Amino acid sequence: MNKCIYVSSAIDRNCINKYFKGKFDYMPHQSQKFNKLLMIGLKENNFDVTSVSIIPLNRKINKKVFIKNEEIKEDGITFKYLKFINVIFFRQISIIFNTFLKLANCVKKNKETIIFIDLLNTSSLIGLFIFKIFFRNKVIGILTDIPGFKVSKKQDNLKISLSYKILYSKVDYFIPITEDMKKIFESLKKKALVIEGMIDSSLTKNERLEKKYSKFTCLYSGTLAKIYGIENLVDAFTDERLKDIDLIIYGNGDCREKIIDLGNKHSNIIYKGSADNSVVVKEQMKASLLVNPRPTSDVYTKFSFPSKIMEYMASGTAVATTELAGIPEEYKKYLILIKDYSAKGIADLVYDLFINGIMDNNKIGKEGCLFVFDKKNNIIQVKKIIENLKNDRIIKL
């Protein structure tokens, strides 16, 4: 069996309960989900996976100074935790040092071990950089966001900073989430493969097609930030035409107080706070329409594929989203595109869908669900990664 190490902040369920019970809002849910799905995909593609995990804690979440956790095996993956000092500056230094030591210890018995690393943790990336000075193991970098990048003078593109160019020089292959991110790495003479996201292959398509609310219901789940267009979304549901259509919202962010205030004035705007992902997913399945109102004008949309799009589509419910640059063409026939993301534009679209009965049989939602389950589950996406790594002679299996 092929061996690999996966460096990230992904942690096992017991560790989550130990450090994040009652502190749900502090948990980096999307990165946890993505990294775990990728690790499980590797395991299902005949890899022996060891997770070198950095618990995503700081002093605000936990006052304990010395952080450590027992090694544990979950879902066929061995989780080995980095020890670190939970004090600013010392946290970064201890993670750098212990990343190097843990990697060196894990590969000493197998020089062919492949290393996957979530590039969002700069401290562990520096530790990997030092490791690569002494070891020649192939490194695959996973990049789901854009740290180390800055907006160009034309404001229409991003450039990688010099410090990250140096750190990334030790990475042999990149897995970005959009084509525009891929172009940046290709400009550095690095090979890359776009994997925009993945869903859990262990779920079944039939489970996703649950009974809907009897009332036409829209739902948004995620960060409640103004920059994500949330204000326009909630303002749309103050429109008199939508008084009989509910908008359910899950999440937290800088628009929370406004949402609560509007909810007190308009009974169709229902704020349910933060909740466990399993609760939110069930609500997504019961809704009539899932909405992503993020504005398209921001340059960063070229470098992101909203994880909620994949999660929304997997629910089996129809998805209305703005036409973000990072969404591949193959997805668009399974989505309802929001051309005008102003409050009035969103209200017009929702009212049109409602009044014309377009959503009655949820055809587009069902087709979108089948598409992501058949084409974008974690086993298939990881198989694609492995095949490209072999074809590009990065690894030999």
b/e map of 175-197 (b: 16 or more CB within 10 Å)? bbbbbbbbebbeeeebbbbbbbb
Domain annotation for the chain: domains and CATH numbers: 2-200+377-391 (3.40.50.2000), 205-374 (3.40.50.2000)
Q: Are 140 and 175 in contact (CB under 8 A)?
A: yes
- pLDDT 10s digits, 98-137: 999 999 999 987 888 999 999 989 999 999 999 999 999 9
Q: Is the dihedral of CA 308, 313, 317, 318 positive or negative?
A: positive
pLDDT < 50 stretches in the chain: 150-155
User: Angle, nearest 10°, between helix axes 90-107 and 122-134?
Assistant: 40
**pLDDT at residue number 152:** 46
- pLDDT 10s digits, 333-351: 999 999 999 999 999 999 9
**pLDDT at residue number 58:** 87
| Rg (alpha carbons) of the chain, rounded to whole number | 22
**pLDDT at residue number 357:** 80
Q: Are 198 and 378 in contact (CB under 8 A)?
A: yes
Instruction: Tell me how far apart the alpha carbons of residues 204 and 200 are, in angstroms, rounded to a whole number.
Output: 9
Distances (CA, A) of 121 to 4, 57, 142, 143, 365: 19, 12, 11, 10, 35
Among candidates 147, 171, 170, which has minimal Cα distance to 160? 147
Q: What is the pTM of this model?
A: 0.88
Q: Are 246 and 218 in contact (CB under 8 A)?
A: yes
Task: Measure CA of the first residue to CA of the last residue in the chain; give whole Å.
Answer: 9
Instruction: Tell me how far apart the alpha carbons of residues 25 and 256 are, in angstroms, rounded to a whole number.
Output: 13
Task: Provide the greatest CA pair distance for the chain.
Answer: 68
Token pair in block for residue 159: 């450039």
